Amino acid sequence: MDHDQWMAMQGLTEPCSGGRQTKLVLHREIGPGHSTIHRFNNTSALSDPIQHGIQGNEVGNILRGVKSCPYLPCPPLIGRPQDGGEFAVIHAHTRAAVERPIAGYGKRSRHRYKVILGREFRTQDSKDDQHKARAKARHMIHPETYVKFTNMSTRTFEELQDAVRAAMSVNDESALSLCAVELDALGTTEARALAENVRGVADLWSGNYTAALEHYQRAIVLYEELDDRGGVARSNVNIGTVYLSTGNYTAAFENYQRALEVHQELGNLDSVANVSMGIGTVHSKTGNFQAALESHHRGLAQYKESGNRHGEANIYTCIGNVLSDTGNYPSALDYHHRSLAIHEEQGNRIGVALATSGIGLVHNRIGNYAAALEHYHRVLALYEELGNSPGLAFITSNIGNVHGNAGNLPAALVHHRRALALFEELGDQSGVAGALANITSTLEKSGLYSDAEEQLQKLDAMQIVVPGMITTIEQTRAALQEHNGN
């Protein structure tokens, strides 16, 4: 039995002319009773991203067959599965691979369930062809299933730095992941440090906060080896952002402040602006709105001075959020629309989602519920398309708030419970507390008092520091006490 016969028996290939052009075939399940075949070869596979789900047991069977193939020039390396649903098959000579977070499966599998596939096993293709194929790939290797490549990178460190900045400007997680792989291939301490930071950002965007912190902390160790104070400060900013995302505002502020001092000393304008925005957001989250506006406007001035339109747009959203929180709705809408215009111009879909969400929040607060839902559902569609778990959790919670304000309590409860499940999956304790507070309030308004009291007990066992959340909890407590005659 020759190579092609063995591959055909395993269901991995289709007959084709030219023994040197055997292809790996992956059967993909894309719906009940429906499957298709996805071919991968060195020149075209990576330009056709996996757009539908792949069942883990199906891929596992394929990988087990590939691993035991006696006809490969070298055995492939099989990456360690993560969370029960991440696989890698990488041929020893591979220079390109593809990955896609699988959409449509729910909870952990939606964003952590990944498949990585190597190029075809036999090839006569040139190095240039492989580079072109890799350049087309939009779905890259996840750090936890990364298996080391040889001869992976053809870009210099400086070129990869530029690529990282470009990917950051449009929140392109896939491009960041590719940069991380190529940086590792360079092998220098400087490149490895940047790769750790890049992977941390990708994990932060996908809501994997624990992994993000681990990457950032490893980056700090490497930057300290290099005596690179700016690199350490950038990593501190990233750590602060993780803590901000998980509601640990004290730790967030400490890391931001540490970074701010270094960036000011080094004269890094954009970095100072970025940290100022983070500090402003911490102030906003803890109810210190005047300090928040001051920090944001300092950052805005620095972004304008440096000509950073992406940063300018982000800080417009932050200012709009603070103005909305303080009841200045016309000004809030103005800033959100400024942000939206820039993000649309630059093609930054995450930025578009954030600005649109801010507009929806203003409409919710002024009682224009139809417009609020319209904007929120646009955001929901964007986050679903992007596979952004944190965004999905927050926007689902916001949709629940609109339904609650409009008096549709059953719909509100459905969305708040859905948001709770998403926040729990992310390990976002601040988000969990907020969702529980919303559920408790909705249960009380629905007359389900015993259920509300049960949820309130859970909240009392948690450390709540967000003023708005505390207000919601205490209002619900007072309503329950009044119902009980206390």
Digit-coded pLDDT (tens) for 297-337 = 999 999 999 999 999 999 999 999 999 999 999 999 999 99
360-370 per-position pLDDT tens digit: 999 999 999 99
Q: Are both 110 and 195 inside the same structural domain?
A: no
Task: Identify the band that residue 484 occupies on the pLDDT scale cut at 50, 70 and 90.
Answer: confident
pLDDT value, residue 466: 64
Q: Are both 422 and 459 inside the same structural domain?
A: yes
Q: Which range has the worst mean pLDDT, 115-129, 146-160, 469-483? A: 115-129
Which of 147, 169, 195 finishes a domain? 147
pLDDT value, residue 447: 94
pLDDT value, residue 29: 27
For residue 474, pLDDT over 50 is answered with yes
Q: What is the full DSSP assignment across 125-186?
A: --HHHHHHHHHH--S---GGG----SS---S-HHHHHHHHHHHHHTT-HHHHHHHHHHHHHH
- Mean pLDDT, rounded, for 98-103: 32
pLDDT value, residue 359: 98
CA distance linking residue 250 with residue 286, whole number of Å: 10
Q: Are both 129 and 82 inside the same structural domain?
A: yes
Q: Are both 129 and 41 inside the same structural domain?
A: yes
For residue 392, report the phi and psi dihedrals to the nearest 5 degrees: -60, -40
Is residue 314, in this structure, part of any structural domain at all?
Answer: no
pLDDT value, residue 411: 98
192-212 per-position pLDDT tens digit: 999 999 999 988 877 678 899
pLDDT value, residue 283: 96
- Quick one: which of 252, 162, 142, 135 has its CA closest to 206? 142
Give the pair of three-digit tokens for residue 324: 């909305």
Task: Identify the band that residue 228 occupies on the pLDDT scale cut at 50, 70 and 90.
Answer: very high
- Mean pLDDT, rounded, for 384-407: 92
Is residue 358, in this structure, part of any structural domain at all?
Answer: no
Give the pair of three-digit tokens for residue 214: 């681990």
Task: Identify the band that residue 431 occupies on the pLDDT scale cut at 50, 70 and 90.
Answer: confident
pLDDT value, residue 379: 97
Q: Are both 8 and 140 inside the same structural domain?
A: yes
Give me the amino acid identity at 33. Answer: G
Note whether 232 and 217 are within 8 A (CB): no
Task: Identify the band that residue 257 occupies on the pLDDT scale cut at 50, 70 and 90.
Answer: very high
Contacts of 445 (CB under 8 A, 6+ apart): 404, 409, 479
- Mean pLDDT, rounded, for 3-27: 34
For residue 399, pLDDT over 60 is answered with yes
Which of 147, 170, 195 finishes a domain? 147
pLDDT value, residue 209: 84
pLDDT value, residue 263: 96
More reliable by pLDDT, 472 or 262: 262
Note whether 368 and 380 are within 8 A (CB): no
Query: What percentage of the chain exceeds 70 in pLDDT?
Result: 66
| Mean pLDDT, the chain, integer | 74
Which of 258, 291, 324 finishes a domain? 258
Q: Are both 170 and 93 inside the same structural domain?
A: no
- According to DSSP, the residues that pair with 31 across neighbouring strands are 34
Give me the amino acid identity at 424. Answer: E
pLDDT value, residue 373: 98
Q: Are both 46 and 23 inside the same structural domain?
A: yes
How long a stretch of residues is the chain? 486
282-298 per-position pLDDT tens digit: 999 999 999 999 999 99
Q: What is the full DSSP assignment across 196-264?
A: HHHHHHHHHHTT-HHHHHHHHHHHHHHHHHHT-HHHHHHHHHHHHHHHHHTT-HHHHHHHHHHHHHHHH
DSSP code of residue 105: S
Q: Are both 138 and 16 inside the same structural domain?
A: yes
- Identify the domain containing residue 467 by its residue range: 367-486
pLDDT value, residue 54: 35
